[in-house]
Every structure is written in C-alpha cells, then in structure tokens.
C-alpha cells in the first residue's frame, strides 16, 4: 500500500488531499429541489461509550500500525440543502459494524469477536463546499440486516438528520426491513451507493460517494 495511505502523518486524511479535488463534487444550482435524503432509525448500536479516537480514519486506532480487517473504502460526499447549496461546518458522524459484524457497543451480540483495530465510529466537520471524507471498510451484512453505514448530521449542537447508507446491488437489500421502509424510489436511490474499485490500487481499495440532501440550510 502506498505510504501516504498506510502511515499518515496522523490525520493527513482531514483534507483527503491525496485524492484530489475530483472527490469533492457539489451539485450546484438546480432548477428544482433535490430529493431529500430519507430519515432512518438510529438503531441500537450508536456507541454507548465513544472511543478516544473519533477522527475520520476508522482503519487505524490512534497511532497503531496494524490496520483493521475488511475492504478499505474511501467514503466521500457532500452535505447540501434541497437547492444544492453546500452546508459547511456540519458534523458528520458515522458508525458501523466491523468485518466480523460486531459493533462498538456493549449490546452487540458478538462483541467478543470485535476487531480491536477497527475504530467503529468517526467524525468529520464539512468544509466550504460541504465536503466530508472517511477512510473505513466496506460494510458487511450480519443476521437480519443488509450491509449499511449509519450517518448522523449535527450542527450547532442539534441533530439534523439520522440516516443509513446501503451497498448498491447487494442481494440482501430487498430483505432488509429498514431499507424497504423507504418507499420513494428516488429517496431509496439516494441512500444506495456504489462501492467501486479504485484504479491502480494495489490493495483493492474502494471508493464510495454519498451526497446527503437536507431540507433547508440550517442556521450557523
């Protein structure tokens, strides 16, 4: 793996500069409103106790040298309002199970198998273009759920949206009750994201992009 991926200068990921401006795509002006990202249940597995390390690199905990198991994914996106205007200074939180299907939560049934090298939770504050970036793993299925990543958007101390991201074309999607609860096809398409191989990646890394559309631009 390239050195700038495996051993960052403890959090070179904040700007994701290594991946260039192509990752930050803002919808811009639209003739009509964008389809809003649907609200979804928070679920029982928001961490009961946040880890000491809550940055946007979930692959490495603190300054450990051993990365977590799983398919490394560079998860990017923007937070915008229904007109496509970027929302800056929004805190994007994500949490997900590890490669073994275990959450960073005392109620996780298989907590004994949890990958100690996977952070399980991360935060990123959006920039001027509403952009965010995480390095994580491609989500995996566990009994009763299709692969997904939980998202919570906050601003000014208020929770604005809780939703979930799903893997495009995964066979378990149509059996997942939470995914099926989204009835609007456009809204369902909004939370269904492709995980594509990164060209020339020697370790099979993936890229995923998720635009989060809020109802209106929240106040500072």
Least confident of 110-124, 147-161, 173-187: 110-124
Is residue 56 scored above 70 in pLDDT? yes
Range of the domain at 194: 36-213
Q: Would residue 21 count as lying in a domain?
A: no
The pLDDT of residue 51 is 83
Least confident of 46-50, 139-143, 178-182: 46-50
The H or E element spanning position 187 is helix 185-190
- CATH code, domain carrying 86: 2.60.130.10
The pLDDT of residue 63 is 78
Q: Would residue 72 count as lying in a domain?
A: yes
Q: How many domains does the chain have?
A: 1
Least confident of 65-69, 114-118, 130-134, 209-213: 65-69
Residue 113's φ and ψ, nearest 5 degrees, are -100, 5
Q: Would residue 135 count as lying in a domain?
A: yes
The pLDDT of residue 108 is 67
Is residue 11 scored above 50 in pLDDT? no
Q: Would residue 218 count as lying in a domain?
A: no
Nearest CA to 89 out of 76, 79, 100 is that of 79
Reduced DSSP (H G I as helix, E B as strand, rest coil) percent helix, strand, coil of the chain, to 5: 15, 25, 60
Mean per-residue pLDDT, 176-190: 97
- Which two structure tokens, joined as six digits, stand for 189? 């398409």
Count of CB atoms situated within 10 Å of the CB of 209: 16
Classify residue 200 by its DSSP letter: T
Q: Would residue 2 count as lying in a domain?
A: no
Q: Would residue 11 count as lying in a domain?
A: no
Q: Would residue 96 count as lying in a domain?
A: yes
Q: What is the mean pLDDT of the chain?
A: 85
Residue 125's φ and ψ, nearest 5 degrees, are -95, 125
The pLDDT of residue 109 is 66
Question: Which single residue is written with the structure tokens 């601003």?
Answer: 155
Q: Euclidean distance between the first and final Cα of the chain, in Å?
A: 40
- Please state the pTM of the whole predicted model: 0.85
Mean per-residue pLDDT, 186-206: 96
Cα separation of 59 and 3, whole Å? 14
Cα separation of 96 and 190, whole Å? 19
Local confidence band at 112 (pLDDT 50, 70, 90 cut-offs) = confident
Local confidence band at 33 (pLDDT 50, 70, 90 cut-offs) = confident
């Amino acid at each position: 793996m390239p050195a700038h991926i495996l051993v960052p200068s403890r959090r070179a990921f904040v700007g994701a500069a290594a991946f260039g401006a192509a990752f930050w795509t803002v919808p811009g002006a639209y003739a009509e409103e964008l389809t809003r990202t649907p609200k979804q249940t928070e679920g029982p597995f928001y961490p009961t106790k946040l880890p000491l390390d809550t940055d946007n690199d979930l692959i490495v905990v603190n300054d450990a040298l051993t990365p977590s198991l799983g398919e490394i994914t560079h998860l990017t996106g923007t937070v915008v309002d229904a007109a496509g205007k970027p929302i800056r200074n929004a805190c994007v939180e994500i949490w997900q199970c590890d490669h073994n299907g275990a959450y960073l939560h005392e109620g996780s049934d298989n907590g004994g198998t949890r990958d100690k090298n996977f952070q399980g939770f991360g935060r990123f504050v959006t920039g001027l273009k509403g952009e965010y970036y995480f390095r994580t793993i491609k989500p995996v299925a566990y009994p009763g759920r299709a692969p997904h990543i939980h998202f919570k958007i906050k601003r000014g101390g208020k929770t604005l949206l809780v939703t979930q991201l799903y893997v495009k074309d995964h066979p378990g999607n149509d059996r997942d009750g939470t995914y099926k609860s989204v009835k609007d096809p456009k809204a369902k398409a909004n939370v269904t994201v492709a995980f594509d191989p990164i060209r020339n990646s020697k370790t099979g890394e993936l890229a995923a992009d998720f635009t989060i559309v809020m109802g209106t631009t929240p106040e500072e």
